[in-house]
Chain A
Amino acid sequence: MKCFSRYLPYIFRPPNTILSSSCHTEADIISTVEFNHTGELLATGDKGGRVVIFQREQESKNQVHRRGEYNVYSTFQSHEPEFDYLKSLEIEEKINKIRWLPQQNAAYFLLSTNDKTVKLWKVSERDKRPEGYNLKDEEGRLRDPATITTLRVPVLRPMDLMVEATPRRVFANAHTYHINSISVNSDYETYMSADDLRINLWNFEITNQSFNIVDIKPANMEELTEVITAAEFHPHHCNTFVYSSSKGTIRLCDMRASALCDRHTKFFEEPEDPSNRSFFSEIISSISDVKFSHSGRYIMTRDYLTVKVWDLNMENRPIETYQVHDYLRSKLCSLYENDCIFDKFECVWNGSDSVIMTGSYNNFFRMFDRNTKRDVTLEASRENSKPRAILKPRKVCVGGKRRKDEISVDSLDFSKKILHTAWHPSENIIAVAATNNLYIFQDKVN
C-alpha cells in the first residue's frame, strides 16, 4: 500500500488541558471526530460537552513543510449536563455525534448531539467591528446626551479575527432513549436522529416538531430483542436510509414507501457461522457503526471483531469481511469482565472508497485496502511518533515465538482504545482520537 508508507504525525490536544495524557480528566476524552465536506475543518466533541474545531492552514510558498497543519479554530461548550426531573435521571453532556452541513455561505454549520438534544451551531468569523457610535462610548457605556455635540456615522474597522459559535436551533424533547446517531440528508433540508428504538426526521427550520419514521419499540417491552445502534442517510438519494441493529442486521428503508418505515425495503444479514458460535456470539455481532460509501453503492458495518462491506444489491451476505483483531476471539470472557466487549468502534471510508479504516486496542488502528487486499496496523502514540517521523506498521503476535517488533496479545493495553477516526474527504489525511489526544496523520507523498 504505497499511499500509507509514510506518515507525518501531528499531535494535537484539546485546549485548556494542562494535564499530560497519562493522567487526564474524563471530560477531555474525545467522543467524536468529523471532517467537514471540504476537509478544511475538523470538529471534535468530548465527554465534557465541548466542541473543538480545527482549521487547516492555508498553503504558503514560504513554509511548504507546514502545509496542511491543523490549528485550533474555535472552541465552545455545546451541551451542558441536565437533569430530567420526571425520571430522576442525569443527562450526560457527552457529545455523541457531530455532523457538518455543507457550506452555503461564509458561515459554517454543524449539528452536535448528546443523549437527548440535538443542536445546530453556526460558526462564523468576525474580523470587523463597528466604531464611532454616537450614544455609546468605546467601552459600550452610554454617553450623557448633554455631551453629544456632533453626529457621526459609525464605520467598520478591522479587528483581530474572532470566531464565534452561536446555537441557532435546539431540537429537544423528542427522544425517550439515548440518541446514538444523527445524519444530514442529501437534500440539506432535513436530518434524522436515531435512538435505541426510534428514528425521527427533522426539518432544520422546525424545532418543535419531528416525524417519527422508524419505531421498533414492542408493545410489551419484555419482548424486546434488538435495538437500533446506528443510522445514516444515503449520500445521494434523499429518500433512502439504513439503520443497523444489535443483532447484526442492517435494514434499508425508503421513505417513499410509507410514512412509518417499520417495514424495510432491504434486509442485510449474514447467516451465522456455526464454527464461530460461542457464549458471547450474540453480543459481539452487534453492529456499532454503519457508513455508506461515498459512491452510495456500498455500506460498511463494524461489529466487535470485524468490518464488513456490503453491496446494496446483495442482501444475503457481505461482499468483504475484514478481521480487525481476531486474536481477541479467545479472550471474550476477560473482555466481558472488564467491559471492553461493549466498546463501540467506528469505521470510515477514504475519499475514493478504496480503503477503510477502523480502530482497535493499544492505540492501534487498522487500514484495509479493498483493491490490493493488504492491511496495515498502525499505532497512535506519543512515544512512537515524533513529528515528521514515519509511522511504523505494528504487528500483534498471536502465539508461538514472538518476533522482535511484535507485541503479544497479553501485553495489549485495553484501556487505550481508538473508537473514533475520521478521513479527509479528498486527501490522505486522517484524524485519530486516542482517549484525550487527537492525532492527525498525513500522507507525505500526495
Chain B
Amino acid sequence: MSSWVQKGSSGRLLGRAYDLTALRELARLPQSTNRYLFRAAQSPCIPYRRVAMEVQKEAQRIMTLSVWKMYHSRMQRGGLRLHRSLQLSLIMRSARELYLSAKVEALDLEAPSPPARCPDPRLHPPREVEVPAACVPPDGEQPLPEPMDTQEEEEAPPRAAETETLVRCSPRPARVCRKRRSSSLSDGVDAGLVPSKKARLEEQEEAKDSSSEVPDCLPPPPAQAEGAFPNLARVLQRSFSGLLSRGPAASPTAPPARDAKPACRPADPMLSVLVRAVVAF
C-alpha cells in the first residue's frame, strides 16, 4: 500500500493513498477512471457520491471521445468502416451503461431511502461530526458540474421513478430526437453534454407529471456517505460488477453506424441521441 499524499486543487492535503490495485480489482474500470476512484478514495471522508460523479464524468468523457472517433472515421479515406463503427458503438454503450448506473447510484444515495436500504443509521451522528472535518475539499460537496445533477437534487426522484422515466419516455424520444438533430449537427464533439440535457428534459417532464411528490423529496444532505472503506468497496462492487455482468442480451443492441436510415430507439433515449449525433455526421 503506497503512502504518498496528494494535494488537492484547493491546496489541502487529501489524505493517504489506498491500494490502487485493490480498487481497480473492485471497479474493473478503465485505467483513467481508476485515477478518479483513486483520488476520491484517498480520504474516507469523501463521500461515495463523489466517486460516482467522477465515474459519470469519466463515462461521459469516453462517450464524447467515442463520438469524436466516429465522426473522425467518417472523414477518413475509404469511408466508414463497419467493424470500427461497431466497436465504437460497443464502447459507447458500455460507457452509457456505466454513466447511467453511476447516476442511479448517486440518486439512490441522495434520496431518503427506506431503512432497509440505508446502510447504517449510526452513520448519521458521526457524519454530522465529520462534515466540519471533511470540509477539506469544500468543492467536493459543491453543486455538481452537470446541470442535470442540480436538477436532480431539487427534485430527487426515487430510483423507481427514474426507471419509469426511461420507460415512459418511449413515446417522447421520437419527437425529442427530431428536435435534437439540428443541435447535434452543430455540437458534434459536445455530444457528451447532449445526454445531460436530454436527461434534464426528462426530469423536467417527470417533475411536471409528479409535482405533488416534490415537497416530499427533500434534498438529502450532500455529505451522506459511506464512512468506512469496506462499505465503499461493497457499494462499488455491487454497482459495477452487476453492471458489467449484465450480458448484451439484457441491454439493447449496440447501434452501429450504418448505411440504413437513422431510427430512434424508444427504449434508449440517451443512446438514441448519441446515435443521432453519429448518423447526422
**Contacting pair B78 A90 (CB below 8 A):** yes
**Contacting pair A225 B244 (CB below 8 A):** no
Q: Place the interface of chain A in its size category.
A: 35 or more
A window 248-276: CB within 8 A of B: 274
**Contacting pair A225 B254 (CB below 8 A):** yes
A331 within 8 A of B: yes
**Contacting pair A246 B86 (CB below 8 A):** yes
A window 335-363: CB within 8 A of B: 336-337, 339, 342
Proximity string of chain B (63-80) to chain A, C-beta cutoff 8 Å, 1 when within and 0 when not: 001000100000001110
Partner of B79, one of A89, A224, A246, A286: A89
B181 within 8 A of A: no
Instruction: Give the residues in chain A near B95, CB-CB below 8 Å.
Output: 279
**Contacting pair B256 A222 (CB below 8 A):** yes
**Contacting pair B83 A221 (CB below 8 A):** no
Question: How many contacting A-B pairs (Cβ < 8 A)?
Answer: 96
**Contacting pair A222 B265 (CB below 8 A):** yes
Instruction: Determine the distance from Cα of A146 to Cα of B164 in the docked complex, in whole angstroms.
Output: 99
Question: With A278-B28, A332-B30, A333-B31 as given contacts, are A227 and B78 in contact (CB-CB < 8 Å)?
Answer: no
B142 within 8 A of A: no
A188 within 8 A of B: no
Instruction: Determine the distance from Cα of A222 to Cα of B278 in the docked complex, in whole angstroms.
Output: 13
Instruction: Give the residues in chain B near A330, CB-CB below 8 Å.
Output: 24, 31
Instruction: Give the residues in chain B near A223, CB-CB below 8 Å.
Output: 253
CB closest chain-B residue, reference A87: B79
Instruction: Give the residues in chain A near B86, CB-CB below 8 Å.
Output: 224-227, 246
A46 within 8 A of B: no
**Contacting pair A221 B79 (CB below 8 A):** no
Proximity string of chain A (222-246) to chain B, C-beta cutoff 8 Å, 1 when within and 0 when not: 1111110100000000000000001
- Taking Cβ atoms with an 8 Å cutoff, the residues of B that contact A are 24, 28-33, 62, 65, 69, 77-79, 81-84, 86-87, 90-91, 94-95, 98, 244-245, 248, 253-256, 258-260, 263, 265
Q: Would you list 29 pairs from A and B whose C-beta atoms are within 8 A, ordered by A residue?
A: A91-B78, A92-B77, A177-B82, A178-B81, A197-B82, A220-B260, A221-B259, A222-B256, A222-B263, A222-B265, A224-B82, A224-B86, A224-B253, A225-B248, A225-B254, A277-B245, A278-B29, A278-B30, A279-B30, A279-B95, A279-B98, A280-B91, A282-B90, A330-B24, A334-B31, A334-B32, A336-B30, A336-B62, A342-B84
- Taking Cβ atoms with an 8 Å cutoff, the residues of A that contact B are 87, 89-92, 94, 115, 177-178, 196-197, 220-227, 229, 246, 274, 277-280, 282-283, 286, 330-334, 336-337, 339, 342
